[in-house]
A and B are shown apart, each in its own frame.
Chain A
Amino acid sequence: MKNTDLNFEYKYGFSMPEKHVFKSRKGIDEDVVRQISSLKKEPSWMTAFRLKAYKVFRNKQMPVWGADLSKIDFNDIYYYIKPTEKQVNSWEDLPKEIKDTYDKIGVPEAEKKFLAGVSAQYESEVVYESIQKELTRQGVIFCDMDTGLRKYPEIVKKYFGTVISLYDNKFASLNSSVWSGGSFVYVPNGVKVTLPLQAYFRINAQNFGQFERTLIIAEEDSFVHYVEGCTAPIYTTSSLHAAVVEIIVKKNARVRYTTVQNWSKNVYNLVTKRSKVYENGVMEWVDCNIGSGVTMKYPSCYLVGDGARGEVLSIAYAGDSQHQDAGAKMIHLAPNTTSRIISKSISSKGGRTSYRGLVQVSPGAKNAKVYVTCDALIIDEKSRSDTYPDMRIKEKEVDIQHEATVEKLGEEKLFYLASRGINKTEAEGLLVNGFIDPVTKEIPLEYSIELNRLINLEMEGSVG
């Protein structure tokens, strides 16, 4: 492959010199939480929300049922970093180091193509944002969460923390107390946003935890596709990424949320993602996890309205020293609701993938339809894959299908490709890309190409 096709220097880690206006001290306590809120000049209800969440965070136990989180030291993390004085609106206004960083990820290039808007996050605050006029004309709001809170306090207050409460889990509580950045999306009644909204996220400060908070509200009969792609430079000490994403899908609306996650291997990626789906609404999560040392992420759909539909399509790749503990949750709370989970995981070089899924059908959710399929591909003997499917079906009139497969990359398939002149590394890449094809074909082309390349790049070290 040509060098230009594979400009993935960040895989090996790079970082720009940090240039901060403000950095909170290491560790977290009530004062730090207050300070964050006051620096952001937030309304008092948000300060109260943060403080309450902080108390809950203090008292909650670490989850012990999933990946190993014992190395996280909450006192060794900066909870807030503000990189530049004020937000800027055009590419030219960005500081040079930030532009260089983005050049390496390729944001402006991508934007030139067909982005509806870019809300790029550098450290904890959004500094670059451009929204196409069309969105504004349609009444669509797409901004960072801090701006959202400032400019649209009523909408934010109405929905913030209603899908994922500050009591939900330790990391959601932590996020609720120290959140910064993330996206705020509001799509009015009947508006269909035809181009995907994209946001690029990035961590670039040592020991810095990123706690973005995203809220998407799709009013009745609307449609929006939100795409987040993450990359992170590699540091020697651990970083924590504990995001919260809340999505409200109103009657007949449809939201698709696509993630391509490629945090560096020292990042703990512990994200709570949940949607509430009303009558005949459709929520689709497309979730691709390649990076991070540890991921725990289970995008969820609470199907609360008659005929609501939820879908999770996911890919997890775990290489050396990685554990991807990912899955999905589908909670059927109304009749005629349907859900579909397609999970594809690949483990190689001693990596570990776990599929952890919950499907719950409540009494009265008649005619619920559930389809779950989780396929694991294990590349070598050192690697591991586990499946933890949990089905709690409390209603009789339901249609449930569940399939799980575990496949090893067979010698015969490799020989078949070898007999066509394809070497082992290329053949593995081709077979892995084929394996995840049912999911990659659902995501925007530029992301699926990047995803295939990233996986090939990861796979290349797996032989010899």
Chain B
Amino acid sequence: MLVLKNLTVSASNKVILKNLNFEFKKNKVYAIMGPNGSGKSTLAYAISGHPAYRLDKDAKIIFNKNDISALPPDKRAKQGVFLSFQTPLSLSGVTVFQLLRLALSGIKDPLIVKQEIDRLAKKLHIKEELLSRSLNDNASGGEKKKLELIQAVLLDPKFLIFDEIDTGVDIDALKAIAKFLDGFKKERTIVLITHYNRILKYIKPDRVLVMLGGRIVKEGDYRLAEFIEKNGYEKYRS
């Protein structure tokens, strides 16, 4: 599905990711764990194509056999890459419907977009009133993450990264999100970036990656997450 080759990435002339090589496969859920500053979010941004992150000339991101390393972020998104933000920005005067209508213009009928948003909002217990407000404006942590989830579903991507979808979310919202994701994972790749084991209790990852100092230092199955919860990252520090 998505392959990282020699992925070295820098921002403001500082190298953050150091030569990552990995293949994410279809129909799998991955968890990327690691302490603050280990490069998890940078990896998410680099895959999505954030202009502040520069790839080394040998670095490649291959998505569905296409090299997307040089594509601008909107083109990557159109090919099926989705990023759910750690702290989604508020957009004044723009509703989730307006955003999605524009993102899906020529792909989905606006009326259907509207109906699907309403249906998902109900399923995720989002207040109707929130949908008519500026996106993410005065929304709680859980509400913001649910709005990210709605966008994910409507855009129908193939490769989804959720950057700390469990942060700032109460337990009920977390359960709802995890349950929802579990039902959504078929035919896709889901990458959960997280500090804790919390969300992994409700959605079981197929593979767990540990990142430290800009490198992937360990890979394992869901038991790796349990181990880290108990013992921390100390073992992997060199």
Contacts and interface: CB of A to CB of B under 8 A. Distances in A.
Contact of B51 (A415, A422, A435): A415
B93 A417 contact: no
A295 B227 CA distance: 68
A314 to B, nearest CB: 16
Contacts of A415: 48, 50-51, 73
A433 interface: yes
B94 A421 contact: no
A419 B77 contact: yes
A430 B99 CA distance: 8
A93 interface: no
B102 A422 contact: yes
Interface centre among A418, A423, A426, A437, by most B CB within 10 Å? Answer: A418
Given A411-B51, A415-B73, A430-B98, A420 B103 contact: yes
Chain A: number of interface residues, binned into ranges: 20 to 34
A312 B103 CA distance: 34
Contacts of A434: 91-94, 98, 134
B74 A416 contact: no
Nearest to B107: A421
B72 interface: yes
B85 interface: yes
B103 A421 contact: yes
A438 B78 CA distance: 31
Interface string B108-142: 00000000000000000000000000100000000
Contacts of B99: 417, 420, 422, 430
Contacts of A419: 48-49, 73-74, 77, 82-83, 85
A430 B48 CA distance: 21
A420 B155 contact: yes
B217 interface: no
B89 A431 contact: no
B151 interface: yes
Interface centre among B74, B77, B91, by most A CB within 10 Å? Answer: B74
Contact of B73 (A413, A418, A431, A437): A418
Contacts of B94: 430-431, 433-434, 437
Contacts of B85: 416, 419
B171 interface: no
Interface residues of B, number: 27
Nearest to A436: B93
A421 B74 contact: yes
Interface in B15-30: none
Interface in A403-450: 411-413, 415-424, 426, 430-431, 433-438
Contacts of A412: 89
Contact of A421 (B77, B88, B89): B77
Contacts of B50: 415
B52 interface: yes
A18 B94 CA distance: 44
B93 A418 contact: no
A431 B91 contact: yes
B89 A413 contact: yes
Nearest to B100: A420
Contacts of B52: 411
A413 B91 CA distance: 8
21 contacts: A411-B51, A415-B50, A416-B88, A416-B91, A418-B73, A419-B48, A419-B77, A419-B82, A419-B83, A420-B155, A421-B74, A421-B77, A421-B103, A422-B74, A422-B103, A430-B98, A430-B99, A431-B94, A434-B93, A437-B92, A438-B93
Interface of A: 411-413, 415-424, 426, 430-431, 433-438
Interface of B: 48-52, 72-74, 77-78, 82-83, 85, 88-89, 91-94, 98-100, 102-103, 134, 151, 155
